[in-house]
Amino acid sequence: MIRSLAKHINGFKKDSILTPVFMLLEVAMEMVIPLLMASIIDDGVEAGNIHHIYTIGIWMVLAACVSLIAGVLGGKFGARASTGFARNLRKAMYENIQTFSFSNIDKFSTAGLVTRLTTDVTNMQNAYQMILRMCTRAPASLICAMAMSFFINARLACVYLIAVIVLGCCLFLIMSRTTKYFQQVFHRYDDLNASIQENINGIRVVKAYVREDYENKKFTKASGNVYKMFVKAESILTLNAPLMQFTVYSCILLISWFGAKMIVNSTFTTGELMSMLTYCMNILMSLMMLSFVFVMITMSYASAQRISEVLNEKSDIVNPENPVMKVSDGSIVFDHVDFAYKKNSEEPVLKDINLAIRPGETIGIIGGTGSAKSSLVNLISRLYDVTAGSVSVGGVDVRKYDIETLRNEVAVVLQKNVLFSGTILDNLRWGDKNATEEECIRACQLACADEFIQKFPKKYETYIEQGGTNVSGGQKQRLCIARALLKKPKILILDDSTSAVDTATDAKIRRAFAEEIPGTTKLIIAQRISSVQHADRIIVMDDGKINGIGTHDELLETNGIYRDVYESQTSGGDFDENGGER
């Protein structure tokens, strides 16, 4: 874990090295100042030597200035190193997420990934800065102050040693108790983010069903869980301050008591006593800083594990060593294909699929909910890999293709249509970033989208809100189809992507496909018989298996499932020759 995180310090190694260097310089100057102060008191004030007071005073000012400058520079370089480290982590996580296959993405929740990119990275940033500054300063200050104290008076310094041991044991007990709460709190953050995301995404449904109170209660519960975990941890951490104050004041009293007796017996000087009291504060404040460092490291350890999970997750779909860089045609062959979303699944989703599709053929796919229609077509563009058997496109196993080459030739309009914030043209050019406006218009005409775009005041410069919330479901589907057509693919897959389109428009889209892109292999998943009845062949899926293949007329005669669906959809009327309802 540490190794996977440490490599993201690249670009900020210099700052990461300079920070502890300047922190050590700051500590060195702070340790010198009490000695100079003792010299002023003993050799200057008590001896009446004004020249000595001036000379040592100048050295004290210089030491303080060097300490100040070193502290400022340490803070500057530490801030640059920690923020740079956080930037690199976010970038690396985001870039790695982009490489994930669908099966990799399924391992993480959306809310969990958001928490990792925000809260967890912020915790790592704070922890890294603490490690560079406090983890250098606190131990160095503690060791140096203890060494100087023993140098001045070993017997009196034993008070510090006892205090450090007692305080260290108490802090260890506190930290061990709080660790488990901090490790649990980030899972509560995931629940909180999930509640927020779900509510915002579905705000229209929430308002339509007047469920604001229910959503408020759900958020309050998630927020309350985070609150409770932090309260439990912080209530234990609050023992830090009184424990530290008790130890500090006890040490001051003991040092003052024993030191005063030693001064009376002429075995100790006033300046040395002042130095010991100063080192007392340095030692105990160093312990307090270490306790805060331990708290931050404890919090960040859970974050570091969660970040490492994302960074170390490798896509299970990768390019072969010598990938095929060209798809010759749109033929598709399924050869004894089995598929399961999880490797250890008891039963595969797809079972022994054997299918051959010719280039330019139009294939309809129909079946009940959960019959694995979408799973079947997801294997063609290698969004998932088969569990057994093989899928070939253009006569080549899809696992031998360069992934980008394959997916550029297989356009998929997914069941969940997604539009991004930007103009209509911006969204269309996701299909082809170099497409001209004329090409975009032509694609929209084929998808029957141009007719409603022309009614917008700004036409193709109309701004689409995030998720396409300012267009209807049918308009969104047609824009997504146009976007896919701009890729000029050899295979076009429409995964129930005309469900929100009226049957007349659906018929127009299919007719345009037949006339304008006859060489493109078209796979149309649909719930309506009218959407597939004019296909060259229709595949009937049932429980992950192919139940029947044939034309519309053939299946009406030979396939019970297809006939039942047809009769249920035509019981209230029949279909015209174009597939539209009369």
Q: Answer whether residue 311 shows pLDDT above 60.
A: yes
Residues 287 and 339 in one domain: no
Q: Is residue 288 part of a domain?
A: yes
Q: Answer whether residue 574 shows pLDDT above 60.
A: no
Residue 266 token pair: 């002429």
Residues 125 and 8 in one domain: yes
Q: Is residue 582 part of a domain?
A: no
Q: Answer whether residue 575 shows pLDDT above 60.
A: no
How sure is the predictor about 577, in pLDDT bands with cuts at 50, 70 and 90? Answer: very low
Over residues 96-109, mean pLDDT: 80
Q: Can you tell me the distance from the alpha carbon of 401 to that of 384, in angstroms, rounded to the nearest whole number?
A: 14
Residues 187 and 106 in one domain: yes
Maximum average pLDDT range among 40-54, 203-217, 446-460, 494-508: 446-460
Residue type for 66, please? V
Backbone angles phi, psi at 309, to 5 degrees: -60, -40
Q: What is the pLDDT of residues 423-437, one digit of tens each?
A: 888 888 888 888 888
Q: CATH number, domain at 130? A: 1.20.1560.10
Cross-strand pairs, 332: 357, 393
CB 247 within 8 A of CB 167: yes
CB 579 within 8 A of CB 503: yes
Helix (H) or strand (E) holding 76, with range, is helix 50-99
Q: Is residue 325 part of a domain?
A: no
The candidate with the shortest Cα–Cα distance to 410, out of 426, 392, 427, 424, is 392
Q: Can you tell me the distance from the alpha carbon of 468 to that of 419, in angstroms, rounded to the nearest whole number?
A: 5
CB 140 within 8 A of CB 296: no
CA 309 from centroid of its chain's CA atoms: 10
Average pLDDT, the chain: 83
Residues 307 and 372 in one domain: no
Q: Can you tell me the distance from the alpha carbon of 90 to that of 247, in angstroms, rounded to the nearest whole number?
A: 42
> DSSP code of 347?
S
Q: Can you tell me the distance from the alpha carbon of 60 to that of 487, in angstroms, rounded to the nearest whole number?
A: 73
Residues 305 and 337 in one domain: no
Residues 37 and 81 in one domain: yes
Residue 333 token pair: 């062959």
Q: Can you tell me the distance from the alpha carbon of 538 to that of 371, in angstroms, rounded to the nearest whole number?
A: 15
Residues 36 and 74 in one domain: yes
Range(s) of the domain holding residue 219: 2-312
Q: Is residue 433 part of a domain?
A: yes
Q: Is residue 340 part of a domain?
A: yes
Q: What is the pLDDT of residues 333-382, one digit of tens each?
A: 999 999 988 777 778 888 888 999 999 888 999 888 788 888 888 899 88
64 burial (CB, 10 Å; 0-12 / 13-18 / 19+) is: middle
pLDDT at 186 (0 to 100) = 66
CB 364 within 8 A of CB 533: yes
Q: Can you tell me the distance from the alpha carbon of 411 to that of 493, in angstroms, rounded to the nearest whole number?
A: 6
pLDDT at 173 (0 to 100) = 80
Q: CATH number, domain at 447? A: 3.40.50.300
Q: Is residue 327 part of a domain?
A: no
Q: Can you tell me the distance from the alpha carbon of 402 to that of 323, in angstroms, rounded to the nearest whole number?
A: 5
The pTM for the full model equals 0.69
pLDDT more than 70, % of the chain: 96
How sure is the predictor about 66, in pLDDT bands with cuts at 50, 70 and 90? Answer: very high
Is the CA virtual torsion 497, 501, 506, 509 positive or negative? Answer: negative
pLDDT at 580 (0 to 100) = 45
Q: Is residue 376 part of a domain?
A: yes
Residues 308 and 345 in one domain: no
The candidate with the shortest Cα–Cα distance to 129, out of 26, 20, 234, is 20
Residues 245 and 374 in one domain: no
> Tokens 């040592």 map to which residue?
56
Residues 302 and 342 in one domain: no
Cross-strand pairs, 463: 423
Q: Answer whether residue 566 shows pLDDT above 90.
A: no
pLDDT at 427 (0 to 100) = 87
> For the range 179-185, what are the long-range contacts, defined as Cβ-Cβ under 8 Å and sequence gap of 24 or more?
179/298, 179/301, 181/229, 181/230, 181/232, 181/233, 181/236, 182/229, 182/233, 182/295, 182/298, 182/299, 182/302, 183/298, 183/301, 183/302, 184/229, 185/226, 185/229, 185/230, 185/233, 185/302
Residues 231 and 91 in one domain: yes
Strand ordering across the sheet containing 396-397: 350-357, 332-339, 388-393, 396-397
Interior CA angle at 375 toward 369 and 380, to 5°? Answer: 145
Over residues 523-532, mean pLDDT: 84
Question: Which residue, of 312, 340, 370, is where some domain finishes?
Answer: 312
Residues 241 and 337 in one domain: no
Domain count of the chain? 2
Residue 406 token pair: 């394959």
Q: Is residue 575 part of a domain?
A: no
Maximum average pLDDT range among 104-118, 174-188, 525-539, 559-573: 525-539
